[in-house]
Amino acid sequence: MVNAYYTNEDSAEWREGADSFKQVTDAASYTRKIPELIGFAPGPNGERHCRYLLQVMGEERCEVIPTDLLGYDNGYAADLAMMFDSRQRAVTYSQVDHVTRPTFAEIARFSDQPVPLIDRQCGFIFKAGKDNYGHLLVEMLPRLEIILGGQLSEPLALLVPTLPLALRNLLSEVIGNLYSGRFELVDMRHSLVQARNLLTTSPISRHNAQKSHVLQLFVSKLLYAAEKHSSLPIRSAKKIFISRANAPKRQMVRAIELENIARAAGYYVIRPEEFSIWEQINIFSKAEVVAGFMGAGLTNVIFCPPHTKVKMFDPGLADYFFCDLASLFDLDFQWIFTQPIGEPSPDRLSAELEIDLGLFQVHLKC
């Protein structure tokens, strides 16, 4: 099983590979909260994954290494959200989540034009998963805090790869409300862009089992900024069910029936994509119970008060991402497996979600 954590050895390797580095935050740690497991059982080829999860859940604390601002002279940023140094070698931690890892030459072949050079200092915070609300919110946008911690001249050009319109708008909203005047968004128009000085940060998360207090700082700023939007006509609810009726993948089978069951149980049903980021923050910041199937919309639990009860329905994928978020933000996590646990695969990651309606009704009340 791949190591779940970034270590000081990783940090030393990143520093050695960069042309410059500056430590911005110190090492930290947070307490692991043991989740309530329901239906936790291995399926075919799932025993090893179950052992891995039990090992991580059994650890008392999660140690987080310091974060750095890293600079690459004449470095490259790719629209695929990868980075390369001046010798066109891949910056390994920028591609950690990629299943396949294209080379510089392979990416360069996407365009018949020369790679443009931006003769100024530029920032780049993106990585694999840039098209996903949860990944962008947790693993990329908080890195702006580290960049600003480097005390750079402002405004800094922030290179922006191709994003879905909703996420591009989210980026603009966050920059405008949290960092007005401190970044200039520069949309990338080529598969590769070279910058005289390309700045990035060391990772603030190892997706499955390690987050950073930098995320807590970022969330606190979002909560503060959302207060000025609190006059928006939104519904305040103590119990929230996150629907995936309109999700592009892992859609819920009989989604309307599930929504109706949740409403009958006293839940406010929300389809997150129908609300602005500020509306979502204000809705979830008042919750006492949040239920939903594993997916990007469930990332909104980071806005909930401590000790909010989170009920996550998992189709056997056993992604520790949300359980880890619950530990970082002191939430009470109930992990409900609707199918036996197996090794993740592309087919399983995009499969429809299905649950017995009676069991769903029972678990909402627990």
Percent of the chain with pLDDT over 90: 73
Q: Say if residue 108's pLDDT is above 70.
A: yes
CB-based contact 350:249 (threshold 8 Å)? yes
Specify the 3-state DSSP secondary structure of 71: strand
**pLDDT value of residue 151:** 75
pTM of the model: 0.93
Question: Which residues face 289 on adjacent strands?
Answer: 239, 309
Question: CA–CA distance from 156 to each of 68, 150, 153, 314 (Å)?
Answer: 17, 11, 7, 41
Least confident of 36-45, 106-115, 344-353: 344-353
Q: Calculate what percentage of the chain has a pLDDT beyond 70.
A: 95
Task: Report pLDDT for 82.
Answer: 94
Q: How confident is the model at residue 116 (pLDDT cuts 50, 70, 90)?
A: very high
pLDDT tens per residue, range 171-203: 999 999 999 999 999 999 999 999 999 999 999
Rounded to an integer, the average pLDDT of 121-139 is: 94
Q: Taking 90 as the threshold, does the pLDDT of residue 119 lie above it? A: yes
Q: How far from chain centre, in Å, is Cα 111?
A: 29
Q: What are phi and psi of 6, to 5 degrees?
A: -85, 145
pLDDT digits (tens, 9 = 90+) for 243-282: 988 777 777 778 899 999 999 999 999 999 999 999 999 9
**363 vs 366: CA distance, rounded Å:** 5
Place of tokens 């859609």: 251
Mean of pLDDT over the chain: 91
All structural domains of the chain, each given as residue ranges with its CATH number in brackets, are 32-65+208-366 (3.40.50), 67-201 (no CATH)
pLDDT at 100 over 80: no
At what angle are helices 165-178 and 277-284 packed, to 10 degrees?
70
Answer whether 193's CB lies under 8 Å from 118's CB.
yes
In this prediction, residues 66-70 reach a mean pLDDT of: 97
Res 152 pLDDT > 70: yes
Q: Which whole-number Å values give the CA distances from 348 to 109, 141, 176, 242, 352, in the listed order?
A: 32, 28, 38, 20, 8
For 212-224, write each residue's pLDDT tens digit: 999 999 999 999 9
207 or 355, which is more confident? 355
* Model confidence pLDDT, tens digit, residues 291-306: 999 999 999 999 999 9
DSSP secondary structure string for all residues of 31-63? EPPPPEEES--B-TT-HHHHHHHHHHHT-SEEE
How many other CB atoms sit within 10 Å of the CB of residue 358? Answer: 9
pLDDT at 252: 79
Interatomic CA distance for residues 304 and 130, integer angstroms: 23
pLDDT above 90 for 128: no
Tens digit of each residue's pLDDT (9 = 90 or more) over 330-362? 999 999 999 999 877 667 767 777 888 999 999
